[in-house]
Amino acid sequence: MSKKTYAMAIRDVMAEEMRRDERVFIMGEDVETLGGVFGCTRDLYKEFGTERVRNTPISEAAIVGAGVGAACTGMRPIVELMYMDFTFVAMDQLINQAAKTRYIFGGNAKIPLVIRGQEGIGRGNAATHSQSVETIFMHFPGLKVACPSTAADAAGLLRTAIRDDNLVMFFEHKALYAQKGEVPDDPEFLVPFGKADIKKAGTDVTIVANLLYVGRALEAAAELEKQGISAEVIDPRTLVPLDMDTIVSSVKKTGRLVVVHEAHRTAGWGAEIAAEVTQQAFPYLDAAPIRLGAAQCPLPFNLGLENAATPQVADIVKAARAVLYRD
């Protein structure tokens, strides 16, 4: 095991996979000598050259389109987008082309393409650079959605994504890049898609969260413990495929569910989980599930307003107490 930042765990896995498979290469804005805005490709060009760590024009449509074409011809591209907010510029390539190609060709075509980049709050990047957009990509069949919350999960999930023969949308969080954690040194360390992680066991309430909010859910669980409430915290890790079995089993034990995410509450992925739990485990519920998410407004530039628009630890504690009828 080595202690690494979330960003360095991502960088090291890309380097290892490029050494393992010469078809793997990286392309994106400023990924070469700058090493990306958050340093996830730092110095990789020195080992692999500028053919395999390739700067691109400032055009997400062109970057993703080139990635789709490269994947179709047998390469295994990793496309870095500076902000995942800008996936919308390339939605035709992602949703109408890459996500559907394997289906259209009866399973004979492969699209081994990873689209990775960061999203989220924490730096006051305002309305068009702070969104959490992973929910949107759950809707379209033909792609997978990964959301690591720790350095180890970032490493294991990214390695799995690079080796997958399908389009993977890999969502990182800007506020997690500097956080450190233990990461296995094994170059074959993989985190399987579709397997949630129980970050903390509990008996009274199930809290499901992803990315930055896993840490906030654990903070809330620690506070609830002081109040005599045992919270189970689950990180889905991948939204597609989604491990509902682990979540449903937890709710059958606790009888209560709180889902919290940074994405907007309206039509967020928490709604899908709440609906599935209600359908699969209704007789076990002792209270209606509660969903927490960002307010239905563009994210503010001001950090105080940003905090006001997104769930805080106190909100998670309050929701857990509410489903237990403590407030």
Annotated active-site positions, please?
Answer: 60, 129
Residue 327 has pLDDT above 90, yes or no: no
Rounded CA separation 193/164 (Å): 10
Write the DSSP string, 270-299.
HHHHHHHHHHHHGGG-SS--EEEEE-SSPP
With beta carbons less than 8 A apart as the criterion, state whether 249 and 278 touch: no
Q: Calculate the average pLDDT of the chain.
A: 97
Amino acid at 156: G
* Tens digit of each residue's pLDDT (9 = 90 or more) over 92-119: 999 999 999 999 999 999 999 999 999 9
pTM value > 0.85: yes
What are 44-63's pLDDT values in tens digits? 999 999 999 999 999 999 99
DSSP letter (8 states) at residue 90: G
Which run of H or of E encompasses 156?
helix 151-163
The answer to whether residue 211 scores a pLDDT higher than 90 is yes
Sign, CA torsion 53/56/59/63: negative
